[in-house]
């Protein structure tokens, strides 16, 4: 309420266009790597025969939807797209959803570990001070759930549920098979780390474009992760500014108008890359979405009744 929006707009207008373009390109690289991570998780969960380019296209369409819809509702678009493909139709919607759960779990663990590592090096001031404990809690929950699933500790609990719930939950659990497959989990984690690295470089380029210290990228990444935990407006807009602007001001002395300009640029970068790549991917996938995807076996594909 007290920040000068005109000054923030001026900071954006004076940003280095080449560095802005680099930030968008690096964001796109990171999201493409993340799409490969999702494909690994789907394959580990039993969704077979999905070509990597098709998986990446679906990921970008879903990212575009997430930028337009609140509370990550765009992920429903990802599941719907997968179900229209022969590989997804054979696997079923519940297994696809389980693969998405596994992907989110591995991504949360990798991101949480990255945040904890950076929080130990970068002081987190003011409203971001408790972020390392939030990250530690997220990693602990994911690790405990993965260990319990791998050891079969959850099976007795599933046995207590009504039969009509056991079957769907079992299918979702099969889809989250990456949590019980060390090789697949390791591959997904490596891709996740690559996505984090590209994201950090994108944030550093944005900061440099605005004349702010690029070393603040680690703090910005940590705060953006914190803001993303709370379901909010598309892209975390609003929630992010409440923590990011004062954190950058306290830690690096960045004026509030420049910090606000940076936050707007973060949103703009994600929006520009996601909508452009998502629209291109949707146009490329449209022949299959209208019913012309060919099954490699040449046989009709019918989704399992359990899905």
- pLDDT of 68-122, one tens digit each? 887 678 899 999 999 989 999 999 999 999 999 999 989 988 988 888 778 777 6
For the chain, list the strands marked E by DSSP: none
* pLDDT surpassing 50 at residue 52: yes
- The per-residue pLDDT for 234 is 58
pLDDT bin (cut points 50, 70, 90) of residue 156 is low
CA 110 to chain centre: 11
Measure the CA dihedral 243/244/246/252, to 10°: 150
Q: For residues 19 and 214, is the Cβ–Cβ distance under 8 A?
A: no
pLDDT bin (cut points 50, 70, 90) of residue 297 is very low
- The per-residue pLDDT for 82 is 92
- The per-residue pLDDT for 116 is 77
- The per-residue pLDDT for 180 is 84
Please report, for the chain, the start and end positions of each structural domain, with discontinuous segments joined by +. Answer: 16-284
More confident residue, 141 or 17: 17
Q: What is the mean pLDDT of the chain?
A: 82
- The per-residue pLDDT for 3 is 61
d(CA 23, CA 198) in angstroms, rounded, equals 9
* pLDDT surpassing 90 at residue 205: yes
Segment 226-273, tens digit of pLDDT: 777 665 555 556 667 777 888 888 888 888 888 889 988 998 999 999
Mean pLDDT (whole number) for 278-303: 70
pLDDT bin (cut points 50, 70, 90) of residue 128 is low
pLDDT bin (cut points 50, 70, 90) of residue 8 is confident
Mean pLDDT (whole number) for 30-59: 95
- The per-residue pLDDT for 112 is 82
Mean pLDDT (whole number) for 22-51: 95
Sign of CA dihedral 295, 299, 302, 303: negative
pLDDT bin (cut points 50, 70, 90) of residue 151 is low
More confident residue, 303 or 115: 115
d(CA 286, CA 220) in angstroms, rounded, equals 37
Mean pLDDT (whole number) for 187-214: 95
Maximum average pLDDT range among 64-78, 129-143, 145-159: 64-78
Residue tagged 């300009």 (tokens):
261
- The per-residue pLDDT for 161 is 64
- The per-residue pLDDT for 12 is 86
Mean pLDDT (whole number) for 165-178: 83
Total residues found in the chain within this entry: 307
d(CA 266, CA 261) in angstroms, rounded, equals 9
């Amino acid at each position: 309420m007290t920040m000068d929006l005109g000054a923030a707009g001026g900071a954006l207008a004076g940003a280095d266009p080449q560095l802005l373009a680099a930030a968008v390109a690096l964001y796109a690289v990171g999201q493409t790597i993340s799409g490969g991570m999702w494909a690994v998780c789907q394959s580990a969960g039993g969704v077979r025969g999905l070509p990597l380019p098709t998986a990446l296209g679906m990921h970008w369409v879903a990212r575009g939807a997430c930028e337009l819809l609140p509370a990550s509702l765009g992920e429903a678009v990802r599941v719907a797209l997968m179900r229209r493909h022969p590989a997804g139709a054979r696997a079923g919607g519940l297994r696809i959803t389980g693969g998405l759960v596994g992907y989110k779990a591995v991504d949360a663990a990798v991101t949480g570990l990255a945040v904890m590592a950076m929080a130990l090096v970068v002081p987190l001031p003011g409203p971001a001070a408790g972020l390392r404990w939030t990250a530690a809690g997220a990693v602990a929950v994911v690790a405990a759930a993965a260990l319990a699933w791998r050891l079969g500790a959850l099976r007795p609990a599933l046995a207590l549920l009504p039969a009509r719930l056991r079957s769907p939950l079992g299918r979702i659990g099969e889809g989250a098979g990456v949590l019980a497959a060390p090789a697949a989990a390791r591959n997904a984690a490596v891709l996740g780390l690559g996505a984090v690295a590209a994201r950090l470089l994108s944030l550093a380029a944005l900061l440099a474009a605005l004349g702010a210290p690029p070393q603040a990228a680690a703090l910005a990444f940590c705060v953006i992760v914190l803001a993303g935990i709370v379901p909010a407006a598309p892209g975390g807009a609003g929630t992010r500014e409440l923590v990011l602007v004062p954190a950058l001001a306290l830690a690096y002395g960045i004026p509030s108008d420049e910090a606000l300009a940076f936050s707007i640029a973060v949103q703009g970068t994600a929006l520009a890359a996601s909508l452009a790549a998502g629209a291109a991917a949707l146009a490329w996938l449209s022949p299959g979405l209208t019913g012309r995807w060919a099954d490699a076996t040449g046989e009709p594909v019918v989704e399992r009744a359990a899905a």
